[in-house]
Amino acid sequence: MFDSIKNAVEQAASGNLDPQALEQAAGDHVASIDNDQLAGHLQTAATNLQGQGQGELAQQAMALISQVQSDPQGAKDAVIAFIKNNPQVIAHFAPEFAQGILARL
């Protein structure tokens, strides 16, 4: 199972996933988790992105954390768009978050 998740993350990172399918999978997964969990997952992604020298994407993830607190539904929509537009970020989320999306593909 780990290998299939790893392969799917690599596909996402390389941009070889159907954007519509990714958007649907991300939407289904993001809708299934609560706002505190979502903020935690975004924090993990932001930290990992920053550590990998991807400051711009890290800043976007941090901005989404703030939005989760002020506009939870709008934030969920923005997280879905963030993942769809930057599929490589899936690799920077915690494994359980990435797995939740990839299992829906």
Residue 18 DSSP label: -
* 83 in any annotated domain: yes
Tell me the whole-structure pTM to 2 decimals.
Answer: 0.89
Closest CA to 86 of 3, 34, 103, 52: 52
Give the chain's residues under pLDDT 70: 1-6, 8-9, 12-13, 15
pLDDT of residue 1: 46
* 13 in any annotated domain: no
* Residue 69 structural domain: 18-102
* 12 in any annotated domain: no
pLDDT of residue 53: 96
CA distance 47 to 29: 21
* Per-residue CA distances from 18 to 12, 21, 37 (Å): 9, 5, 26
